[in-house]
Structure 1
Amino acid sequence: MMEENINSIESLIERVTDYGKTSIELAKLKALDQMSHVTSSLLSNGVVLVIVSLFAIFLNFGLALWIGHMLGEIYYGFFVVAGFFGMMAIVVYFFMRKWIKRTVGNSLIKQVLK
């Protein structure tokens, strides 16, 4: 009888140990899955951001050259475009900074908890 209890306790300890190892392995795999999902999302969004940024840069150069040509001096066009972006930066800083921060934070949290 005593030997049966010892065997069942050893069996129980072995099962608990296996369960613990399996739970740890499962947690590692879930973390790896989330990390790979977030990394791939950031990478793909980064590539899109680079392409859109290049488009915007060339568009702004063209716009600055065109405005400069219309005003008579090329550098006037660059001043006008720079002034426009300066005004946009001020508006974003004072009126939209908190909204952008909250939106990006919520998006990142949503991706991590997905």
Structure 2
Amino acid sequence: MTEDTTPIATLFERAEDYSKTSLKLLRLNAIDKSADVASSLVSRLAVIMTVVFSVLITSIGVALWLGKLLGDAFYGFFIVGGFYAFIAILLHLFREKWLKYPVSNSIIKQMLKEKIV
């Protein structure tokens, strides 16, 4: 069987195959990283929601307990509400340092993590 193709044509075919394969690999890596980040965020969201519900129930219990100690239930709810307002102010003041940078760094670390097969 004789080859009718020139070395240049063969080189172009191999370059085309290489570029197609590289593009597929890049797309698969992007899908893998996206799925990894999304699954990480979903799992963290599940943990955060569980913590939020437990804090909510505990807060209601503490508010009722403080209200019982102080004589009226609404006093306890005012105290607990004031505590959460204070926490919200702190989070607002330090949101860059406590929230933005750690979340950004976590996502970047997750995106740049090498898969060991």
Q: Determine if the TM-score, normalized by the shorter chain, exceeds 0.5.
A: yes
**Paired residues for 1:33-72 under 5 Å:** 33-72=32-71
Paired-residue identity, %: 43
Q: Given the two structures, how large is their TM-score scaled by the length of structure 2? A: 0.87
**Paired residues for 1:1-114 under 5 Å:** 7-94=6-93, 96-100=94-98, 101-114=100-113
Residue type matched to 2:43 in 1?
S
Cα offsets for 1:30-85 (capped at 9, x unmatched): 00110010010001011111111100000000000100011110111000000111
Q: Which runs of 4+ in 1 moved over 6 A?
A: none
Gaps of 5+ in 1: none
Gaps of 5+ in 2: none
1:53 and 1:62 map into 2 onto residues whose CA distance is 14
Higher helix proportion, which one?
A: 1
Residue type matched to 1:38 in 2?
V
Q: Given the two structures, how large is their TM-score scaled by the length of structure 1? A: 0.89
Residue type matched to 2:45 in 1?
G
